[in-house]
Chains A and B, each alone.
Chain A
């Protein structure tokens, strides 16, 4: 049972308990003033109840009038502060009883009194003073010197070194998240007898740091800080795909990317000169925050939330400051103003992003993020497409020649036909050869229209009472009376990601009317429709009219009472910029009325021609030849469609006098129907190569990235933090209390990143090494790893923290070297053996008179079970996987089809690859205190609950691991039962059982065996846990009994604990 608040008090008690030590302002006094006085006498002017401030020395020691002073150095009795906090008169006492505040404790009052008596010396807040390398003497390891110095003040010393087996297990779990194999332990012991323990140990450290497992282990902590997940969070919690960023992190740790570069690339990789793909992928860090696609939200409210999340996460991860407190008002404890917060916010406020995001994948800005292998394959396909294009181009002279010859041939036929002046009629047929009524010469009159992708063709030639029929542009046409419309059945059911093209000839008689629609007869309904609104042509695609849909219209008006050809195409990419509208073949300038199409449509309404917007929007006028294609026609196709002259007629026009539309129709017809085999083959090859390239390109994963908008979005202080209450305008900048920007740093994210990792920065290095310390020792040197401000903890060993920070920076921010430095210290290598005296003196091991001992993190627990049982599939990176999960967890919260576990290797990958749905996080991770990935989390929390016991005993993942571990015990150890049991112990705990332990194991084994010997059906059942194949060759009763013991071993306190 751990509780982190308690430690704060405890440590403080340790600090002040030394009667001989001098009281120090930062360590002893500021925490009292901050916690008990700053609310009314602190940095926040909004709440300040008096001119007297205790966060500023000059104010705290100022003359209060009438000869009174809050603090008079060396005169506690004369100091108003001491008089007021110790007053027994409730009306005078501070903090005031009338406001519900409790009296300071005696210890607190005494500490304040001693400080005043000793001179009331003031200090800047410790974490804002850049770290200096403390002076060391002696040749021993610097960390040990500094820890020893601290221990000596308490009359303690370091504990002796842990046993080699314990040490190697600790080191392996710490650096790779997996325990050592018996072979690795043997190597270590063997090596030690050869080259000596010291060098053998160092070799192990180097080996583990070089392992790809190290990178996976380190990545987990960074993913927690970066709030990485596979879904968006909030209510609808749609999917996203950020694994390419996650793999970037793994790779960066593996290559030991210096932490300053790691910082710069993630915060501002896109702003580096000529950023590489990997540097852009890195910026996914600040797109990992939660986003919402929920309908009905005010998008700006959430966009502001995203930006604030970035500012707060940056503060927590690099500054260790709770700047988020200054979002609604000046910080109540730290010298951070609300303006400071919004200046930090401004760095992240210029991303071209939406507040309401897409629920079925990544949201802009995003990039294609191929792996190296994907890039190679794509380059191959590009080359293939380029070659096909070149071959096609090379054929052009030949094609031109062939087409000219063909034109001449058919022109002759056309002239012949024209002489007989047969009226053109191409309705009702699709065969180009017989399309024309050609009574005299079937081969001499040719016409053609685009057939590719044609889904529906309504010639509107026949009778459709009560509508009147009349001659149209092509054969007959329908006159619509503004009351009636046609229905064509439930066809053309395009969804929001389907491309389509709609074309028609229209002669409108009124400025408003529905041309064609597929939605309830109500313009704001779900579906799509093409309308004339105020004589402008408008395409409407609607999920919910008020907030989910797409609407564009032409900038100019159509003419009433004239025939015009209208053509609308949509490319299926759900953005308005994928819509093209042509009137009489001329591309129109469009106005985007609404551009938020992000959700599948559902509607089973009939396709209506001339209706679909209610009674007020029935079409009035004449309409002819309606066509619907299931593709977005390309420009040439679109251009050719309104051309009424037949191919033969065009061919008869001299080439120089044909217009581009006629040219297009002629060429498309030739290529489609009459080109020589060689040309058609080249065209097919080109299309195939392009299609193949596109299909592969579509499978390449994307990643959301940071990007700057072309303009600068203004940033304002938001009053009370509310998105709709802008106050003063601000520019990007850093809190005034921290070092200023250097000249030459751009005032954008890149400058911010450079500032963070500048050698003179007081916080970044300290905050970072403190997190690594927490990873290894369970608790940071500053326990409040997320808060180095006034309300945070004073470092338990400030010299050690500063030494580590300086060492880290001066090593070039070398993470592996820092970890090696710590891991090779005697402090790290101590035994974690407790004594009653140590337990009494330092129950939480803050002073480090013994080695760390604490429960393994969630992911390490599961990985250890997979690893020791031989189930673990080690493969770095790739899409997230879905291991076992109890049925129904997703449905009971959100409905839907629920969680579907993978088959095969997805069940056995390391836990950092587990699919993370934010609103229903993987239960076995959360049960063991994994952060929920909703927001940035850097503090390690460890609880000890019965739910954890149930999870480890009964989760199929652990039952299967027990079965497999048992099989290893039986197969890899050939000896007696006791030896086999001991082998299982060794696999998990890296040691042999003691005789008494062996006896307990044997006793349990025999008990299980006795049961399964009599109940073979039960043995079969317990051995059928998990998807991995059964071990048919093993005796079921014995195997089941070993599996019982294997589970027991995996549940031992020692197994779930790093010692």
Chain B
């Protein structure tokens, strides 16, 4: 099957590289060997993904999942008939009281679709007709690390490849000058929030070249990208020419194709020294861009700046672009802190959709917005007149998706009156993952990798494509 063909490709590659490196191989040096043969499995709707990960778990109750009847039961104890003995985190499991608390922010309907969106997200509300809301997502994990890991890798325990690594492994790269999988992080206003970790965009047991490359807002966007002070480009060229000639001599004498690869990788590094600064240099963007994304887009490291960079990466053929915005973990002080996160993310996320649309790229770009789980309808900690918090809630949460392959202007799935249990059309994390792969033309059951004697896949042995949300 696939591996046999791969072997042929590889041999072919070797025989070529004994005398020099072919351009086809060159284009894929940064990433995979151009993806797997037979990929994609069928015609894709989306060529790339921009995943706006809201780390910490935004509250569905304040943002999307409108529950007016909660006002009537505010302050009452959480009914056991709703909770049904399900496990809670130990942060609230032994809390003496679990009072229900409604959203203190108002909702209204937007667009022709009439989607309910909170007053906290006015820009998102304006583009509601372009979005597909899934209100019935649910996960198995109740804490951040396992929950984010689950979304990213299909398993709660670390060690498996991330979704971006799987896509890069399967589909290869569309760019000669940039990595195929790029990650950018914004800290959230207070700079706090749950920590992230490099393995979330790691390659797990896939070869490390498939891992996400983190673009940074401090220092070099890519680690070690800049030549040192006092070593101008002319020196680097001279250096690389000499290095290349010496390595070529070695190749001629020794014959190891690894040497040819190394020569090409140094040239790729040199190209990245131009392509990455060009990418991150926003001086060429017109004023209208910054009006669209908001003033934060001029500040490196903000979610707004990263959204703009995401569009620029998408334009340049990067396959999987993932943004993480931190600090959505509102165990307490939710009425104060949640609006801040919304303010940081609402306009840029909506701008990204509009910008992609204006450029004709929304049709083949899949955009996702969401966290790792939802939040509880009952108050965590002390409920006062002005303050409340919400604990982690895995049983239901909301995400929105847009663009390539999605049916816009619909809401899929529904929760009960407490936004506690899914009542209609549950979507499991593995279903979401299967659906993402489907939009990219991949049958999630057939993108596998053999490791420790087992054929692993992103969706483990589960997952079903959520067909009703597809265009």
Interface residues of A (CB under 8 A from B): 1-6, 8-10, 13, 34-35, 100, 102, 105, 107, 233-237, 290, 292, 294-299, 305, 322, 324-325, 332-334, 522, 524-525, 544-547, 784, 786-787, 789-792, 832-836, 839-840, 843, 853-855, 886-889, 892-895, 918-921, 923, 926-927, 929, 932, 934-935, 941, 943-951, 953-956, 959, 994, 996-997, 1000-1001, 1003-1004, 1007-1008, 1011, 1015, 1017-1023, 1025, 1040, 1044, 1047-1048, 1051-1054, 1056-1057, 1059
Contact = CB atoms under 8 A, between A and B. Distances in A.
Contacts of B187: 892, 895
A843 B255 CA distance: 11
Interface string B191-231: 11111111100100001110001001111101111111111
A1040 B224 contact: no
B255 A834 contact: yes
Nearest to B454: A325
B272 A893 contact: no
B4 A105 contact: yes
Contacts of A545: 94-95
B266 A959 contact: no
A946 B454 contact: no
B256 to A, nearest CB: 6
B344 to A, nearest CB: 16
B269 A786 contact: no
B91 interface: yes
Interface string B439-450: 000000110011
Contact of A892 (B199, B216, B247): B216
B242 A949 contact: no
10 interchain residue pairs of minimum CB distance? A791-B453, A1021-B230, A919-B197, A1022-B230, A894-B195, A296-B89, A834-B255, A235-B145, A949-B269, A296-B91
B213 A1022 contact: no
B235 interface: yes
Contact of A839 (B92, B257, B391): B257
A853 B238 CA distance: 28
Interface in B338-391: 382, 391
Contacts of A997: 246, 249
A1040 B18 CA distance: 36
B228 A297 contact: no
A551 to B, nearest CB: 11
Interface string B5-39: 01100110011001000000000011001000000
Contacts of A547: 90-91, 94
Contact of B254 (A234, A834, A1023): A834
Contacts of A996: 249
B229 A1 contact: no
A1011 B235 contact: yes
B143 A297 contact: yes
Given A929-B208, A1019-B230, A892 B218 contact: yes
Given A325-B452, A791-B452, 16 more contacts: A105-B4, A233-B158, A236-B195, A297-B89, A791-B454, A886-B219, A892-B218, A894-B196, A895-B191, A895-B193, A919-B195, A920-B198, A949-B269, A1001-B246, A1007-B238, A1053-B259
Contacts of B15: 839-840
B274 interface: no
B207 A3 contact: yes
A403 to B, nearest CB: 53
A330 to B, nearest CB: 13
A923 B246 CA distance: 28
A1054 B258 CA distance: 11
Contacts of B268: 946, 949
B87 interface: yes
A535 B13 CA distance: 82
A834 B254 CA distance: 6
Given A333-B453, A546-B91, A895-B187, A1 B213 contact: no
* Residue of B198, B243, B382, B452 ringed by the most chain A CB atoms within 10 A: B452
Contacts of A791: 450, 452-454
Contacts of B263: 1053
Interface of B: 1, 3-4, 6-7, 10-11, 14-15, 18, 29-30, 33, 87, 89-96, 142-145, 157-159, 185, 187, 191-199, 202, 207-209, 213, 216-220, 222-232, 234-235, 238-239, 241-243, 245-247, 249-251, 254-259, 261-263, 265-266, 268-269, 272-273, 382, 391-392, 445-446, 449-450, 452-454
A241 B143 CA distance: 26
B10 A6 contact: yes
A100 B444 CA distance: 12
A926 B214 CA distance: 13
B267 to A, nearest CB: 8
B235 A950 contact: no
A227 to B, nearest CB: 11
A324 B446 CA distance: 23
A893 B265 contact: no
Nearest to A789: B453
B192 A895 contact: yes
A298 B250 contact: no
17 contacts: A1-B33, A3-B33, A5-B3, A6-B7, A34-B453, A237-B195, A294-B143, A294-B144, A298-B90, A324-B452, A546-B95, A834-B255, A840-B14, A894-B196, A1004-B239, A1011-B234, A1051-B266
Contacts of B157: 305
A644 B186 CA distance: 64
A262 B436 CA distance: 48
Contacts of A332: 454
A836 B257 CA distance: 11
B265 A895 contact: no
A1025 B254 contact: no
Contacts of A786: 452
B266 to A, nearest CB: 5
B4 to A, nearest CB: 6
Contacts of B392: 296
Contacts of B194: 235
A966 to B, nearest CB: 13
B238 A1018 contact: no
B247 A1053 contact: yes
Contacts of A950: 222-225, 269, 272-273
Given A544-B91, A935-B159, A322 B453 contact: yes
B144 to A, nearest CB: 6
B226 A954 contact: yes
Contact of A887 (B219, B222, B261, B453): B219
A234 B454 CA distance: 25
A1025 B228 contact: yes
Contacts of B243: 1048, 1051-1052
A545 B254 CA distance: 67
Given A886-B219, A1044-B239, A839 B255 contact: yes
B235 A1008 contact: yes
Given A105-B4, A944-B265, A947-B223, A895 B195 contact: yes
Contacts of A10: 7
A941 B211 CA distance: 14
Contacts of B453: 34, 322, 325, 333-334, 784, 787, 789-792
Contacts of A787: 452-453
Contacts of A895: 187, 191-193, 195
A935 B158 contact: yes
Contacts of A921: 198
Given A946-B265, A1021-B230, A927 B223 contact: yes
Contact of A886 (B14, B224, B230): B224
Contacts of B266: 946, 949, 1051
Contact of A946 (B18, B235, B269): B269
Nearest to B445: A100
A1008 to B, nearest CB: 6
A839 B202 contact: no
Contacts of B246: 997, 1000-1001, 1048, 1052
Contact of A926 (B14, B198, B261): B198
